[in-house]
Amino acid sequence: MADGTLVDVLNSAHPVLTTVTMKLALWIAEYYISRPIEAINALLPAPLKTTVQDFVELCEFQLQSGTEKIVTTTLRKKILRALQESNKPTVRQLERKLGKHNLYRTLTVMERGGLVQLKKKFPQSGPKTRTAYRLRPNLSDEVTEPLKRAPRQAEAVEKMRQSPHASLFAQDNGIARQTLESLVKKGIAEKIRVEIQSSFSTGFTEPKKIIEQLSSAQHHVLKELSDAFHSGSFTPFLLHGVTGSGKTIVYIELLKQVLESGRNAIVLVPEISLTPQTASRFRQHFGDDIQILHSAMSNQEKYDAWQNLRNGKARIALGARSTIFAPLCNVGAIIVDEEHDAAYKQDRTPRYHGRDTAVMRAKLEQAICVLGSATPSFESYSNAEKGKYRLLRLPDRVDNAAMPAMKLVPMLENRRITPSLSEVLYLQIKERLKRDEQVILLQNRRGFAGSVLCMECGHITMCKHCNVPMVYHASSRQQRCHYCGHAVAFSGNCPKCSSANLLYKSSGTERIAEELRELFPEEKILRMDVDTTNTKGSHAIILNAFHKKQARILLGTQMVAKGLDFPDVSLVGVLMADIGLNIPDFRSGERLFSLLMQVAGRAGRAAIPGEVYLQAYNTDNPLFAHLLRGSYEAFYQEEMVSRKELHYPPFTRMVVIEFTSPDETAAEKAASACVDHLRSYLKRDSCHILGPAPAGISRMKGRFRYQVLLKLQSRPLAADYLKHLQYSLMNTWKKHHLSMIIDVDPQSL
Ligand code: ADP
Ligand code: ZN
Ligand code: ZN
């Protein structure tokens, strides 16, 4: 491709109010394979640089000194001297040595003049390792006994005992390296090198399940899909199939046909580490024909993966949202599993929605696109209602397995055994354990504070950068901000009035795990949340342990709700099922409904019937009535009425324009100016303009945030205008360090 074309495309696609276009990204990918990235980067509009940054990391350049020539500028002289002094430095090393950024341009010019030689070098990365600590084997209790006087060390020992890896990394677990080192000195712990998982292995060793025959419903769906595929034209489908209805096997059968006919395919999953089972099932069927893309890959692996896909060694790309840009040609089918998942939206630049991009790419490639979910996004369901997508259904579970029975536990009327557990749920858990079945417990973390409230003076510690309540972490005795990571030590007393009468407003997973350990001292309890999964591969380790029944209780956040298929799970308990309703977000109902359906779907997937207990305070909410009946359709219809009244998507297109600056007045002024402009420019009936208002989190990382919210009847109308606005503000921006972010279809406000 000629440079001219690329530049033209980039300019015309400047992503103001457009998500990054697929073609564009494909071209970048193509282009990257043959050029130095910096050359491409120089051509790009700012918002796209981040995408390319990912590619940039794939290669390093090496310099070789070339023929001696007369060099005029000082910089060039310096460069040559540096080259003579060190052996084949990389560009980065040179930059560091000379204290100068962007040496790249100079170097390319020098290369053209034959002064130096640039050599592309792909970093060779062996397995990455890290130091971990583990208890020495066969440790007697006498050795650890004296630790009572060293609480930190005792805590570390306890953690190592409970860790699913049987070892710990320092820091990650809120334990200082020093503490662990002292344990090594005392002969209690030892240091080991642990390989950080970089090549993808799902950690799942499931035996391959032979499915003799598709059910008639599955068969029907497959036929519709394959007919559309063989017709060779773009067809988007929405596959609405309840949890356990066997969607995965339908995808696999479809893909077999796609490969047979000589075309290629893309499969998107929300988060690969959370769905190792799905990934491993595809792998079992397609072996090396499938290339799994995931964020834990090393640069070398990424590069190999891209090459494999590009030259046809692998023919199916499977991975999270960015996999939609995979450099495959002749794509015949695109599958978006769990299409409702918010993880498909990238909320940093370039802001694109993986699902929408999938539909777009399918259109460009004349492929079929299958969006699958048990609880489709309202956008997709309404597209199906309008006939834009073809709706296919799998209303029943395979093998006549029943949908789990759901029960509501009103917390205000029920006796509690511990602060977070009702007697009803406790008895159920006990019963299942007696029958040697498994239990999944969900604590919905979304919109859940975990903050500390002083009962004396009402003080709540807020993050000084982000204006959100800080969250208490018992393991490190700190309060931390979940947006920016700022941490302060927690003394156990109110920082304002020193009172010790504090209320831990709500209990997180860590606290619930403690309660469970007291109730079931004999049980091993697996905990899956951000704290226990911050090292690579830890999801798989926890899931694998549960899968092998090394533990019978799995407690976790949203992570436990996704795509798990464990035959022995007969009970799912949700500790605070209504907690997600209070978030100021118009999608909170939709999100909660889908989360609860999803987690409920983990129960009773095989022979043992499943039951779901939902503990809640606010049980009158109509959402629960629909949920207990398992009726997505009824819930959807009811919600759509209020969406329509309030002009929310899918009836409108929502756009958030956010202005941020370290100077609060500047941010506010820019936002008001924007509103005035918009009012005079846009027709009243085509658009609702809200704001300006401080964003939900009014200050983040030291910047004030003001937002303007648009609900547009049609999308193209405002595009030109916003582009214009962005340019006209350019000068003011620079003065006040202002920045403007335009987010189309924001997933959270
Ligand atoms: P979904 O993705 O719709 O939740 P899965 O594809 O995970 O459902 O299927 C649920 C379970 O049913 C899996 O264990 C799968 O192996 C099994 N299964 C799917 N189709 C059939 C079939 N036709 N016969 C027997 N078992 C099946
Ligand atoms: Zn913060
Ligand atoms: Zn106080």
Question: Mind listing the pLDDT tens digit for each residue in 471-483?
Answer: 777 767 888 776 6
Strand 264-268 relative to strand 331-336, pairing: parallel
Between 567 and 318, name the one with better pLDDT. 318
513 dihedral zone (left: phi>0; alpha: psi -120 to 50; beta): alpha
Cross-strand pairs, 742: 657
What is the mean predicted confidence (pLDDT) over 351-373? Answer: 88
Q: For residues 103 and 73, give the distance between their C-alpha atoms in angstroms, rounded to a whole number.
A: 13
Instruction: Give per-residue pLDDT as tens, 453-463.
Output: 666 666 777 77
Q: What's the 247 CA to ligand 1 centre distance in angstroms?
A: 7
What's the CA gap between 153 and 182, in Å, rounded?
A: 8
Instruction: State which of 256-265, 347-356, 414-423, 685-694 shows the largest mean pLDDT.
Output: 256-265
Q: Is the distance from the beta carbon of residue 248 to the nearest atom of ligand 1 less than 6 Å?
A: yes
pLDDT of residue 3: 34
pLDDT tens digit sequence for 108-122: 777 766 677 766 554
- Residue 537 pLDDT exceeds 90: no
Which has the minimum average pLDDT: 523-537, 617-631, 683-697?
683-697
Mean pLDDT lowest among 1-5, 185-189, 207-211, 263-267: 1-5
Q: Determine the pLDDT at residue 71.
A: 57
**Residue having the nearest C-alpha atom to atom 14 of ligand 1:** 565
Residues facing residue 708 across a β-bridge: 657
pLDDT at 507 over 60: no
Does a cis peptide bond (omega within 30 degrees of 0) precede residue 15? no
- For the Cβ of 241 lying below 6 angstroms from any atom of ligand 1, the answer is yes
Answer yes or no: is the C-beta of 398 below 6 A from any ligand 1 atom.
Answer: yes
Convert the pLDDT of each residue in 674-694 to its tens digit: 888 778 777 666 778 887 878
Closest ligand (CA of 501): 3
Q: Residue 650: CB partners within 8 Å, gap ≥ 6?
A: 378, 379, 382, 383, 643
Burial of 301 (0-12, 13-18, 19+ CB in 10 A): middle
Question: How much of the chain is in helix, strand and coil states, percent to nearest 5?
Answer: 40, 20, 40
Find out whether 466 is annotated in a ligand binding site: yes
In this structure, the number of other CB atoms found within 10 A of the CB of residue 702 comes to 11
* CA nearest to 224, candidates 373, 382, 368: 368
Q: pLDDT digits over 479-496, tens only?
A: 877 666 678 888 888 888
Least confident range from 191-200, 267-276, 435-444: namely 191-200
Q: Which two tokens stand for residue 317?
A: 């790309």
Q: In 670-738, where do the E strands start and end? A: 687-700, 703-712
Average confidence (pLDDT) over 745-749: 70
Cβ pair 481, 470 in contact under 8 A: yes
Region of residue 460 (phi > 0: left; psi between -120 and 50: alpha; otherwise: beta): beta
**pLDDT score, position 678:** 79
Q: Is the CB of 399 under 6 A from ligand 1?
A: yes
Residue 329 pLDDT > 80: yes
To test the ligand 1 pocket, which listed residue (285, 398, 400, 547) has its Cβ within 8 A of the most ligand atoms? 398
Residue 394 Cα: closest atom of ligand 1: 3
Task: Annotate 414-473 with DSSP letters as a single string.
Answer: S-EEETTEEHHHHHHHHHHHHTT-EEEEE---TT----EEETTT--B-B-TTT-SB-EEE
Q: Which residues of 658-689 are buried (b: 16+ CB within 10 A; e: fewer)?
A: bbbbebeebbbbbbebbbebbeeebeeeebbb
pLDDT band at 230 (very low <50, low <70, confident <90, very high): very high
| Residue 454, marked binder | yes
Give, as residue ranges, everything with CB less than 5 Å from ion ligand 3.
454, 456-457, 459, 494, 496-497, 499
**In the chain, pLDDT over 90 holds for what percent of residues?**
25
Q: What are phi and psi of 147, to 5 degrees?
A: -70, -10
pLDDT at 681: 72
The yes-or-no verdict on residue 99 having pLDDT over 50 is yes
pLDDT over threshold 80, residue 560: yes
CA of 13 to the centre of ligand 1 (A): 42
Is 434's pLDDT higher than 90? yes
15 lines ligand 1 (CB under 6 A): no
Cα 249 to ligand 1 centre (Å)? 6
User: Could you tell me the distance, in angstroms and rounded to a whole number, from the CA of residue 642 to the centre of ligand 3?
Assistant: 41
Ligand showing the shortest atom-to-Cα distance for residue 700: 2
Residue pair 372/339 in contact (Cβ under 8 Å)? The answer is: yes
598 lines ligand 1 (CB under 6 A): no
Q: Which of 32-41, 201-210, 399-408, 592-601 has the lowest mean pLDDT?
A: 32-41
d(CA 660, CA 672): 13
Tell which residue, 638, 58, 516, 93, has the closest CA to residue 307: 58
pLDDT at 55: 38
**Confidence band of 12 (pLDDT split at 50, 70, 90):** very low
pLDDT at 541 exceeding the cut of 70: yes
Pick from 2, 102, 15: which is nearest to 50 by CA? 15
Q: Which is higher by pLDDT, 697 or 737?
A: 737
Q: Render pLDDT for 173-206 as a digit per residue (tens, 0 to 9).
A: 667 888 888 888 888 888 887 655 433 454 555 6
pLDDT of residue 481: 72
pLDDT category at 525 given cuts 50, 70, 90 is very high
Does the pLDDT at position 218 exceed 90?
yes
The annotation status of 329 as a binding-site residue, yes or no, is no
Token code pair at residue 605: 């997937």
- Output 416 or 257, whichever has higher pLDDT: 257
Q: pLDDT of 239-249, one tens digit each? A: 999 988 999 99
pLDDT at 423: 94
- Written as one string, the DSSP assignment of 526-554 is EEESTTTT-STTHHHHHHHHHHTTS-SEE
pLDDT at 4 over 80: no
What pLDDT was estimated at residue 590?
Answer: 92
C-alpha of residue 487 to centroid of ligand 2, in Å: 8
Strands 438-442 and 569-574 come out as parallel
Mean pLDDT of the chain: 77
Q: Which amino acid belongs to residue 282?
A: F
Tell me what the mean pLDDT of segment 43-66 comes to: 42
Give the H/E segment covering residue 525. strand 525-528
Rounded-to-integer distance, Cα 157 and Cα 134, Å: 9
Burial of 200 (0-12, 13-18, 19+ CB in 10 A): buried
Grade residue 315 by pLDDT with cuts at 50, 70 and 90: very high
In the structure, what pLDDT confidence band is assigned to residue 604 with cuts at 50, 70 and 90? confident
Contact 264/332 with Cβ under 8 angstroms?
A: yes
- Checking if the pLDDT of 546 tops 70, the result is yes
Residue 37 CB contacts under 8 Å (≥ 6 apart), including other chains: 52, 55, 56, 58, 59
pLDDT score for 583: 55
Two structure tokens written together for 292: 């799994």
Nearest CA to ligand 1 atom 22: 214
